Structure 1
Amino acid sequence: MERYGLIKTLLKFIDTNKIKYGIGIFIAILIYGEIGSIYIMKLSPMEALYFTGITLTTVGYGDIILTTILQRIFAVTLAFAGIAIIAYVFGVIFSVITEGMEKARSGVKMKKRISHLKDHYILCGYGRVGKVVLDELKKRNQQVLIIEKNKEIIDRLNEENEDENIITMCDDATDTNLLKRIGLEKSNGMLVCTGSDVNNLFIVLTTREIAPELWIVSRASYSENIKRLKNAGSNKVVSPESSGGSDIYYAAMSPKSIKITCKHSVEEISNEMKIVMNNNCNLEDIEYHFPGIKEPLIRKIGSIQNGDYAKFNNILEKNEIAKKSIKNLYKSVGGIHSHHMTGKTFKDIDNAMKKLSDENIILGIDLSDDEILKLTKNQAQEIFD
């Protein structure tokens, strides 16, 4: 039973059409030899089959004598055809079986890699939008499983990509069986970015059925389909008509994103960045809160990398104008500002929060605009003084 199971698995990866084509050519040569032997060699059907066999295999026992030029020409063409075709047929069969075995081994390796994935993101579709989303995920060192049915795109991506956190699958994300095999329940979320709203809708519906609690962000090529995708089960729907692929990333990070309101001096900025980075987290933006003004001044900073805090210190040390400007800004807001902090896991976020709290940097978590406004008003008198 185990042997039959192995054969069945291997046949799934073998291109049987190539084998059928090769066998078809071989049969055609046999028919050519049989008919030629009967009409040119004047042999009986059984003798014709015998003569065709020994000529194709170039055995040539010599018990059938060639007496005419036509017979000799026929025998030579049959022998050459036999050598060429048999070599071709068996070469094709061997290469197809070898390719099938390699694909089967690759499939087993892929299945094993996927089974070990945890806290990863699943990206369905790697087009223009998908590429932007992947770039954002790579900047934050996130694990990503990419599903794209276009083989040329996958081959090109594999050639360009050397990141071990990126796994690619050349497959159709609308395949229900595939979605059941890729560890939906262990992932951080799914980002559906194919160029077809119909496919996106089907993927969302199927995924929501398999993993009811999974965070799903979907692209909508047309704004009129946003409501349909939400009704299908998308937690967030982003339309490139009004926003870009980076917004899909930020939407995907929503479950693992918190807003922290901090207070510290300019000299402590690098320490804050260091704590965040060392705990696999990232600060996505800065909101500067001016006393008495409800709307903050927002500055997008994107992803920060290890060592960026050292670069920041170097800039301030070498550029007196920049140093003076940021000190004036911090004085204007009393050192109070907020960040949206994202992390790979909730544990990473908790660790970063604990370290920041130990340094007395955090004033509050997920504070409302009114709560922050009340907080900043206490700084107004100090600033004016």
Structure 2
Amino acid sequence: MIKLFRSKIYIALTLMVLVLFLGVLGYRFLSDFSWLDAFYMTVITVTTVGFSEVKPLSIEAKIFTVFLIISSVFIFAFAISVITEYILGRNSLQLLKKKKVKNKINSLVNHVIVCGYGRNGAQAGERLNAYKRPFVVIERNKEVIEKHEADILFVEGDANDDEVLKEAGIERAQYLIAAMPDDAANLFVVLSARQLNKNLFIISRASLITSQKKLELAGANKVIMPDKIGGDHMASLVVMPDLITFMDKLSVEGVHTTNLEEVAIEDFADQVECNSLRDLNLRQKTGCTIIGYIEPNGNYIINPEADLQLQPKSKVIVLGRPEQIEKLNEVFHIRQ
């Protein structure tokens, strides 16, 4: 539609230039005006401003002027209508696009809200896409939004604004990631989000060690320091490079694939009798291996025994190749 409008604008501009060109030639040769006088006469004629002629016109020049006025009125009217249609149509498309995004956001439940789509926010978005977790990004930079709006749900505005958080569905969200580069901005977002949703799990980015405690007091469940993690990671590559590279492979197998999965015991309980890890028999059914167990109180057990008794509201950490994880989700009908 935009391309159609643009082609009409090009036609209108071409006709306007053509009528000016013909007007200048007509006055130049019919009335023997100078080029400047011919241009002047053409402008005052097509714009119908009513100024007097440079000098009296011949009968031929008067007839030419009548046709010039009539043709210019229609051409300029056409140009104005095209430009108006283009502007209104563009605004209408933007409104329709925003309404469509708003409807999609309003339909989300237990989704993730990412505040800020810089380096850390974009990385979080990539991993959420890999795990097929629905998320909404709050971003105030229009250039960033226009660059990625085809693939991501954006809410334009300041994440510190309660109305913007509500527009992103803060009351229905399950997680919030405060990924802005400024610790103070993240602190205000955490405070606002915690007031709007008491059950929200909040993860915040921090640059300074002194900000970590403040963010936790404000209501953040987890505080991540990317700079500290990066330094630890580089040092670990010196001490045990192969192990760290292997761990990187586990976490960044691909943008659209995963090889680690966290599964609630309730996802298995309705389909198999699972009193212990051995009863699940995931290795034989899917090829996946259970490498961790999370107790209801949050205690982690690494490499649990096969006879470990399962408890309600507990979880297992499963390792497998992407195709094995996909088979796990299919076999046990696990909603991603």
TM-score normalized by the length of structure 1: 0.47
Following the alignment from structure 1 to structure 2, what is the Cα–Cα distance between the partners of residues 347 and 374?
18
Change (3 A) 1:53 1:119: farther
Following the alignment from structure 1 to structure 2, what is the Cα–Cα distance between the partners of residues 209 and 96?
41
Following the alignment from structure 2 to structure 1, what is the Cα–Cα distance between the partners of residues 301 and 251?
26
Following the alignment from structure 2 to structure 1, what is the Cα–Cα distance between the partners of residues 272 and 293?
11
Spell out the pairing of 1:124-143 with structure 2 (5 A cutoff): 124-143=115-134
Following the alignment from structure 2 to structure 1, what is the Cα–Cα distance between the partners of residues 92 and 198?
37
Does the CA-based 8 Å contact 1:57-1:83 persist in structure 2?
no
2:251 to 288, 302, 307: 302
Q: Which residue of 2 aligns with 1:121?
A: 112
1:342 to 250, 262, 267: 262
Q: Which residue of 2 aligns with 1:176?
A: 162
Following the alignment from structure 1 to structure 2, what is the Cα–Cα distance between the partners of residues 234 and 199?
13
Structure 1 residues not aligned, in runs of 5+: 1-51, 59-63, 248-297, 310-339, 377-385
SS in 1 for 2:159: coil
Does the CA-based 8 Å contact 2:183-2:206 persist in structure 1?
yes
Change (3 A) 1:373 1:103: closer
Q: Which residue of 2 aligns with 1:253?
A: none
Structure 1 position 179, deviation (Å): 0.8
Structure 1 position 109, deviation (Å): 1.1
Structure 1 position 200, deviation (Å): 1.2
1:189 to 161, 168, 175: 175
SS in 2 for 1:142: coil
Spell out the pairing of 1:38-53 with structure 2 (5 A cutoff): none
Q: Which residue of 2 aligns with 1:112?
A: 103
Change (3 A) 1:369 1:65: closer
Structure 1 position 188, deviation (Å): 2.4
Spell out the pairing of 1:12-91 with structure 2 (5 A cutoff): 56=47, 66=52, 68-69=54-55, 90-91=81-82
Following the alignment from structure 1 to structure 2, what is the Cα–Cα distance between the partners of residues 57 and 65?
8
Change (3 A) 1:303 1:87: same
Q: Which string of whole-angstrom CA distances, capped at 9 and with x for unpartnered residues, describes residues 170-208 of structure 1?
A: 433222212112222322201110112222122111111
Structure 1 position 115, deviation (Å): 1.4
Q: Which string of whole-angstrom CA distances, capped at 9 and with x for unpartnered residues, describes residues 222-251 of structure 1?
A: 22211221122111111112125xx9xxxx
CA RMSD in angstroms comes to 4.9
Does the CA-based 8 Å contact 2:138-2:168 persist in structure 1?
no
1:241 to 219, 227, 245: 227
Q: Which residue of 2 aligns with 1:147?
A: 138
1:358 equivalent in alignment to 2:307? no
Structure 2 residues not aligned, in runs of 5+: 1-42, 234-245, 283-289, 307-336
Following the alignment from structure 2 to structure 1, what is the Cα–Cα distance between the partners of residues 193 and 298?
33
Structure 1 position 55, deviation (Å): 6.2
Q: Which residue of 2 aligns with 1:101?
A: 92
Structure 1 position 83, deviation (Å): 8.0
SS in 1 for 2:200: coil
Following the alignment from structure 2 to structure 1, what is the Cα–Cα distance between the partners of residues 183 and 257?
41
Q: Which string of whole-angstrom CA distances, capped at 9 and with x for unpartnered residues, describes residues 318-357 of structure 1?
A: xxxxxxxxxxxxxxxxxxxxxx8525x8854766996656
Change (3 A) 1:308 1:102: closer
Change (3 A) 1:198 1:302: same
Following the alignment from structure 2 to structure 1, what is the Cα–Cα distance between the partners of residues 163 and 197?
13
Query: Which amino acid is 1:156 matched to?
Result: K
Q: Which residue of 2 aligns with 1:268?
A: none
Query: Which amino acid is 2:107 matched to?
Result: H
Work out the number of aligned pairs and report it: 230
SS in 2 for 1:184: coil
Following the alignment from structure 2 to structure 1, what is the Cα–Cα distance between the partners of residues 56 and 209?
75
